[in-house]
A and B are shown apart, each in its own frame.
Chain A
Amino acid sequence: MNAETINLNPASTNTMAIHALLHLADDSLIMGHRCSEWCGHGPILEQDIALTNIALDFVGQSRHLYQYIATQLQDISNDVALTLIDFDILPEKINEDSLAYLRDTHAFKNHLLVELPNGDWAQTILKICSFSVYRFYLFQLLQKHTDLNLAGIAEKSLKEVQYHVKWSSEWIIRLGDGTHESKSRMLQAIEFLWPYMGEMFEPVMYEKVYYHLDDVTYTSLKNNWLDKMNQIFEQATLPTQSLNQWHQTGGKIGKHTEHLGYILAEMQFLPRTFPNAIW
Chain B
Amino acid sequence: MVSNQQHTEDAVWQLLSTVKDPEVPVLSVVELGIIRKVCVENSDTVTISITPTYSGCPAMDVIRMQLHMVLLENGFKKVNIEQTLSPAWTTDWMTKEGKEKLKAYGIAPPLPKQAVCNPEVFQKEEAIQCPQCLSYHTHMVSRFGSTACKALYQCLDCKEPFDYFKCH
Contact = CB atoms under 8 A, between A and B. Distances in A.
Contact of B148 (A57, A63, A165, A167): A57
A170 interface: yes
Interface size class of B (residues with CB under 8 A): 20 to 34
B5 interface: no
B121 A57 contact: no
Interface in A107-135: none
B118 A162 contact: yes
Interface of B: 52, 54-58, 84-89, 117-122, 141-146, 148, 152, 168
Contact of A64 (B85, B142, B143): B85
Interface string A154-186: 011111101101110110010000000000000
Contacts of A101: none
Interface residues of A, number: 38
19 contacts: A49-B142, A49-B144, A49-B146, A50-B144, A55-B56, A56-B148, A57-B54, A57-B148, A60-B55, A60-B56, A64-B55, A149-B85, A153-B85, A156-B52, A156-B85, A159-B117, A163-B119, A166-B119, A173-B121
A155 B56 contact: no
A253 to B, nearest CB: 27
A46 interface: yes
B121 A169 contact: yes
B10 to A, nearest CB: 28
Contacts of B54: 56-57, 60, 160
Contacts of A152: 84-86, 88
B122 A56 contact: no
A47 B142 CA distance: 8
A232 B121 CA distance: 9
A208 to B, nearest CB: 24
B145 A49 contact: yes
Name, among B55, B88, B145, the residue most crowded by chain A CB atoms within 10 Å (CB to CB): B55
Given A148-B86, A151-B86, A156-B86, A61 B56 contact: yes
Nearest to B86: A152
Nearest to B150: A53
Interface string A4-22: 0000000000000000000
A61 B55 contact: yes
Nearest to B58: A56
Given A49-B152, A166-B118, A170-B122, 4 more contacts: A46-B141, A49-B145, A156-B85, A156-B86
A56 B121 contact: no
B143 to A, nearest CB: 6
A58 interface: yes
A197 interface: no
A13 B148 CA distance: 36
Chain A to chain B: the 6 pairs with minimum beta-carbon distance, closest first? A60-B56, A60-B55, A152-B85, A152-B86, A46-B142, A56-B56
